[in-house]
């Protein structure tokens, strides 16, 4: 595991594959520059490690290496993309020819690529990246989590504790003569508890991580808290009653329920859907799309966060984009292609799952700014409704704006008091409308623990969300209790 | 020649102290052409390969994979995996299948198209025709997320330290179209697709485009409903998602973790008598077919549910040993190791036409789309976002959106009181139209 000795991306690719930024620029210059509107070469080397402990024993220990290069050429709205998993100058030349042949099938638009410049951030330089941390320490922590989770509640019969660690080294050369690299550590610890009582079984999950060291999990009692949360959720749900069905007032807790923003408005504000006018938010810039209490931001520059990046996967430094300010739609998230075609600026949101995929506009860390309300008071203001604090996944239909997100821990609220826990239920709403119904915003903004993965068009990327406690006056809760 | 590389990797693992090992090698090439509003949008071309290795040191195991097949890289992968196996704990159930269980003759399932490859222009033209058919079918089709043609050629090789070494080739082809219909400021998107192992078996791109357009158009004017408990009819696409949920709960790891609503239910009634679910790996030229599983075991036809009774789980060697059962030869293989994977999974058809199923409903929902992840595999609790058509007096009356359908999968399976005759093997998991007697549809 010494093959990842800290080095700059440029020297990594030149030492290992004899590919220098000069060679990349030559491939671009010889094949693409001046012949297409924009082009880039992306090199990636990724090591991924997965450790899974089940029933107190290591069920899975695996290590995966993937590497490759993607060459992209763009003319007008066309993209040619070719990739290879053998990084060599011969293959780069070949990929560049293929990508260009693709983009060449029409005249260029005459709109030249925006120059990308700007200093990359330094958001996650780590003393010891998690991928190099000794396996024995990781396995030992997983064993302690297993024991701790069982100790929290005797009804916990099964524990699955896992840790994934990753390191991605990337280097991108763009047609504007800008070559930039990044080394991205990422780790995640997950705990799943299955509790049983009198024939009823339930599942609870919790976890966290980010672009942090292994020691992050040991700090502030984090791993114990993850273990306790997983056990608590599983045990709590054993007593859950049927969730209500129908439209009602919903209070969302702080942190991970920010997935609401990701689904309800985030995807709809990605540049590609707005350029193509296929988003329910298309053409609504400057209009009111949320209550004036609502300001939503996408920020890829928060140190050590799962969704943060020093530069995006097109080499643009990430930024802080105000999507909604006091209820008014103010910004889209852009990659280079869509920014160019919409005559806007790239916002550092061009991301890709790996070298095998062309970039698209994607979110980074998306959250709502805190308001002035006391979270307790927000709950007290509800006569009858639902208080949802933990969610599973969500999904959105960009075009009609309908989105769902599934509560995995939620309670009834009766006369301002939080009462019975309810079974999981999906919440469904309409993106352009849901945030207009936000009537209270708490002062307790919290970012999630660092577990989110977003899927779009078959590509997964790590993201973050955040939310203060908020009250929504009317959203449909998909329970079974009529 | 693919197996030669695997065999040399397995030899090195043995030299490094592995007591047993198996390896899987996938090589594939892919081409994709997408067209949007009649213009080429993206063309993608790729070649990929990945070797994954599982090694055992006694009863301890580890896995590793790489996309770099250079000698140095492969040596590193072997060394890392064997080193990893030595630090993981012993697991009495870990290990390869018994050598006697391995397949001897690999059946030819006709999974690869031998016809000549089309030129990129011809492929683009297929996508263009499919999208054009959607755009031209109605003036309310005003926009599009585009159409795509794709093809993939792959070769899978598997070898074990027992001496098993076989490979097979597959091809797959696909067309998909996602048009947008609009009227009075409302926009609705839907899609349709066709996929097949043989290019000649793809549906006509024009027909795919027209179906996609019709699906988007029928959503225009969608309303939200009041919350009610009514009969719900699932179309074949959404019914197939219920079958996938059942397969997930019947898979070995969910069971030995006691994280399945089908735990301890083998041999018992879990669904209405009209429900029979079969997984058949040996259908010639079908999308889910495979000649052997990810551990070299012969594939076949497994009856998962027969007339409502749960007859089999879906197991690989490890989960079978854990549960004291026999593998059902459902090991799948991906970059990260062994998992359970179904082949051609089908809810078998009944004798009622889908029209009759709809006609049998006085007031209810015909579901054509489900979104979200609201299925709890441990309890079977089910709550998902839905869209479709409202049924009034046996007729599709108007489109519905922004509702949820909720229940519990066991109760839903027991309440299936109609199974359509419209099963088409057009994907890996398929179902006919089904009717569930009662579910809660939540709206306003």
pLDDT in tens, A40-91: 999 999 999 999 999 888 888 898 999 999 999 988 888 889 998 888 898 8
Say which of B45, B77, B91 has its CB closest to residue A98: B45
Same domain for B271 and B354?
Answer: yes
Same domain for A230 and A263?
Answer: no
Say which of B39, B45, B378 has its CB closest to residue A82: B45
Instruction: Tell which of B65, B383, B384, B436 to mutate to test the A interface (max A CBs under 10 Å).
Output: B383
Same domain for A253 and A347?
Answer: yes
CB contact under 8 A, B84 and A62: yes
What are the C-alpha distances in Å from A460 to residues A123, A267, A327, A457, B293? 21, 14, 29, 9, 27
Same domain for B314 and B360?
Answer: yes
- pLDDT for the residue numbered A98: 80
Domain boundary among A210, A238, A266: A238
- State the residue range of the domain holding A277: 245-478
> Residue A471 and residue B241: Cα distance in Å, rounded?
33
- pLDDT for the residue numbered B2: 75
Say which of B46, B371, B381 has its CB closest to residue A397: B371
Could you read off the pLDDT of A310-357 as tens digits, one per residue? 999 999 999 999 999 999 999 999 999 999 999 999 999 999 999 999
Same domain for A87 and A118?
Answer: yes
Q: What number of residues does chain B have?
A: 444
- pLDDT for the residue numbered B47: 86
Among A111-120, A367-376, A411-420, name the one with the lowest average pLDDT: A111-120
Q: Read off the pLDDT band of A29 (50, 70, 90).
A: confident
SS3 A379: helix
* Whether the Cβ atoms of residue A411 and residue A422 lie closer than 8 Å to each other: yes
CB contact under 8 A, B62 and A202: no
CB < 8 Å to B47, chain A: 84-85
Q: Hey, what are A181's tokens?
A: 């690299």
Domain boundary among A184, A215, A238: A238
Domain boundary among A238, A255, A278: A238
Say which of A50, A136, A405 has its CB closest to residue B87: A136
* Whether the Cβ atoms of residue B358 and residue B294 lie closer than 8 Å to each other: no
Residue appearing with tokens 């009227």: B183
Q: Which of residues 32-51 of B touch A (CB under 8 A)?
A: 36, 39-50
- How close does chain B come to A314, measured CA to CA in Å? 17
A38-54/A156-174 β-pairing? antiparallel
> Residue A123 and residue B250: Cα distance in Å, rounded?
44
SS3 A364: coil
Average pLDDT of the segment spanning A375-396 = 96
Same domain for A325 and A449?
Answer: yes
- pLDDT for the residue numbered A104: 66
Residue appearing with tokens 């797959």: B172
For the cut 50, the answer to whether the pLDDT of residue A2 exceeds it is: no
Cβ of residue B374 closer than 8 Å to a chain A Cβ: yes
CB contact under 8 A, A358 and B42: yes
CB contact under 8 A, A201 and B379: yes
Same domain for B306 and B400?
Answer: yes
Whichever domain contains B11, its CATH number is 3.30.2290.10
Same domain for B72 and B85?
Answer: yes
What does pLDDT average to over chain B? 95
Average pLDDT of the segment spanning A129-143 = 95
Could you read off the pLDDT of B345-399 as tens digits, one per residue? 999 999 999 999 999 999 999 999 999 999 999 999 999 999 999 999 999 999 9
What is B40-62 written as a DSSP string? EEEEEEEEEEEEEEEEEETTEEE
Say which of A60, A194, A426 has its CB closest to residue B378: A194
Cβ of residue B165 closer than 8 Å to a chain A Cβ: no
Percent of all residues in chain A with a pLDDT value above 70, rounded to a whole number: 95
SS3 B379: coil
Same domain for B212 and B233?
Answer: no
Sorted by sequence, the CB contacts under 8 Å of residue B29 that are 6+ apart come out as B46, B47, B48, B152, B153, B154
Cα torsion for A332, A403, A243, B241, to the nearest 10°? -140
Same domain for B255 and B157?
Answer: no
For the cut 60, the answer to whether the pLDDT of residue A112 exceeds it is: no
Same domain for B230 and B184?
Answer: no
CB contact under 8 A, B258 and A157: yes
- State the residue range of the domain holding B51: 2-217
CB contact under 8 A, B43 and A102: yes
pTM for this model (two decimals): 0.94
> Residue A390 and residue A452: Cα distance in Å, rounded?
13
Number of domains in chain B: 2
Same domain for A258 and A372?
Answer: yes
Same domain for A290 and A198?
Answer: no
**What is the predicted ipTM?**
0.92
Q: Hey, what are A15's tokens?
A: 């030492």
Whichever domain contains A164, its CATH number is 3.30.2290.10
* Whether the Cβ atoms of residue B175 and residue B149 lie closer than 8 Å to each other: yes
What does pLDDT average to over chain A? 92
Cβ of residue B381 closer than 8 Å to a chain A Cβ: yes
Sorted by sequence, the CB contacts under 8 Å of residue A125 that are 6+ apart come out as none
Q: Hey, what are B63's tokens?
A: 């896995």
Same domain for A122 and A31?
Answer: yes
Instruction: Tell which of B334, B337, B373, B436 to mutate to test the A interface (max A CBs under 10 Å).
Output: B373
Cβ of residue B241 closer than 8 Å to a chain A Cβ: no
Cβ of residue B227 closer than 8 Å to a chain A Cβ: yes
């Amino acid at each position: 595991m010494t093959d990842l000795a800290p080095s700059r991306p440029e020297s990594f690719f030149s030492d290992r594959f004899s590919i220098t930024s000069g060679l990349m620029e030559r491939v671009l210059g010889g094949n693409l520059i001046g012949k297409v509107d924009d082009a880039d070469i992306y090199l990636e080397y990724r090591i991924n490690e997965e450790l899974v402990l089940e029933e107190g024993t290591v069920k899975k220990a695996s290590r995966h290496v993937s590497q490759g290069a993607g060459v992209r050429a763009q003319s007008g709205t066309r993209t040619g993309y070719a990739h290879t998993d053998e990084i060599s100058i011969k293959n780069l030349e070949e990929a560049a020819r293929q990508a260009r042949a693709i983009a060449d099938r029409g005249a260029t638009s005459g709109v030249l690529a925006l120059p990308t410049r700007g200093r990359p951030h330094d958001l996650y330089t780590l003393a010891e990246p998690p991928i190099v941390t000794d396996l024995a320490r990781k396995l030992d922590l997983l064993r302690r989590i297993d024991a701790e989770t069982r100790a929290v509640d005797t009804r916990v019969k099964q524990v699955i504790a896992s840790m994934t660690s990753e390191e991605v080294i990337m280097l991108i050369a763009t047609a504007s003569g800008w070559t930039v690299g990044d080394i991205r550590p990422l780790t995640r610890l997950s705990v799943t508890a299955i509790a049983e009582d009198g024939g009823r079984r339930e599942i609870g999950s919790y976890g966290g991580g980010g672009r942090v060291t292994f020691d992050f999990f040991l700090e502030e009692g984090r791993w114990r808290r993850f273990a306790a949360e997983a056990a608590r959720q599983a045990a709590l749900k054993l007593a859950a009653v049927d969730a209500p069905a129908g439209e009602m007032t919903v209070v969302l807790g702080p942190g991970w329920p920010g997935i609401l923003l990701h689904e309800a408005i985030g995807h709809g504000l990605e540049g590609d859907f707005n350029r193509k006018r296929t988003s329910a938010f298309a053409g609504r810039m400057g209009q009111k799309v949320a209550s004036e209490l609502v300001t939503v931001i996408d920020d890829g520059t928060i140190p050590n966060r799962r969704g943060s990046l020093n530069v995006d996967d097109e080499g643009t430094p990430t930024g802080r984009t105000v999507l909604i300010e006091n209820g008014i739609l103010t910004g889209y998230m852009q990659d280079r292609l869509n920014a160019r075609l919409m005559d806007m600026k790239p916002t550092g949101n061009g991301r890709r799952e790996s070298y095998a995929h062309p970039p698209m506009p994607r979110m980074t860390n998306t959250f709502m700014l805190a308001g002035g309300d006391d979270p307790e008071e927000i709950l007290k203001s509800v006569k009858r409704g639902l208080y949802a604090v933990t969610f599973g996944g969500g999904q959105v239909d960009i075009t009609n704006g309908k989105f769902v997100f599934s509560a995995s821990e939620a309670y009834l609220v009766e006369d301002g008091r939080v009462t019975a826990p309810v079974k999981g239920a999906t919440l469904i709403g309409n993106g352009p409308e849901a945030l207009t119904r936000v009537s209270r915003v708490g002062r307790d903004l919290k970012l999630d623990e660092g577990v989110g993965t977003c899927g779009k068009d078959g590509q997964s990327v790590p993201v973050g969300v955040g939310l203060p406690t908020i009250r929504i006056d009317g959203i449909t809760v998909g329970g079974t209790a009529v | 020649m693919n197996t030669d590389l695997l065999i040399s990797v397995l030899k090195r693992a043995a030299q490094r102290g592995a007591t047993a090992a198996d390896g899987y090698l996938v090589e594939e090439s892919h081409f994709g052409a997408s067209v949007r509003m009649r213009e080429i949008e993206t063309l993608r071309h790729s070649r990929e390969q990945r070797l994954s290795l599982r090694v055992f040191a006694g009863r301890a195991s580890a896995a590793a994979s790489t996309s770099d097949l250079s000698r140095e890289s492969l040596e590193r992968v072997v060394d890392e995996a064997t080193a990893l196996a030595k630090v993981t704990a012993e697991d009495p159930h870990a290990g390869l299948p018994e050598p006697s269980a391995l397949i001897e003759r690999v059946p030819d399932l006709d999974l690869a198209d031998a016809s000549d490859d089309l030129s990129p222009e011809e492929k683009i033209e297929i996508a263009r025709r499919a999208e054009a058919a959607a755009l031209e079918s109605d003036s309310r089709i005003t926009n599009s997320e585009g159409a795509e043609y794709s093809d993939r050629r792959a070769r899978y090789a598997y070898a074990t330290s027992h001496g098993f070494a076989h490979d097979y080739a597959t091809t797959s082809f696909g067309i998909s179209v996602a048009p947008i219909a609009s009227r009075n400021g409302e926009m609705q998107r839907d899609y349709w697709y066709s996929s097949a192992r043989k290019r000649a078996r793809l549906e006509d791109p024009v027909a795919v485009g027209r179906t996609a357009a019709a699906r988007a158009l029928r959503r225009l004017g969608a309303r939200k409903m009041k919350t009610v408990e009514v009969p719900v009819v699932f179309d074949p696409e959404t019914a197939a998602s219920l079958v996938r949920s059942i397969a997930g709960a019947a898979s070995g790891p969910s069971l030995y973790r006691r994280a399945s609503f089908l735990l301890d239910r083998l041999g018992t009634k879990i669904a209405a008598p009209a429900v029979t679910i079969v997984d058949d790996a040996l259908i010639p030229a079908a999308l889910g077919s495979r000649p052997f599983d990810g551990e070299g075991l012969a594939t076949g036809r497994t009856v998962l549910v027969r007339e409502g009774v749960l007859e089999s789980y879906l197991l690989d060697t490890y989960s079978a040993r854990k549960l004291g059962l026999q593998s059902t030869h459902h090991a799948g293989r991906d970059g990260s190791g062994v998992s359970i994977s179904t082949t051609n999974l089908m809810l078998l058809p009944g004798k009622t036409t889908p029209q009759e199923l709809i006609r049998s409903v006085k007031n209810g929902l015909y579901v054509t789309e489900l979104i979200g992840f609201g299925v709890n595999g441990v309890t079977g609790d089910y709550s998902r976002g839905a869209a479709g058509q409202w049924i009034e007096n046996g007729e599709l009356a108007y489109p519905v959106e922004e509702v949820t359908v909720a229940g519990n999968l066991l109760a839903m399976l027991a309440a299936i009181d109609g199974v359509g005759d419209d099963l088409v093997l057009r994907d890996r998991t398929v179902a006919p139209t089904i009717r569930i007697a009662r579910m809660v549809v939540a709206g306003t």
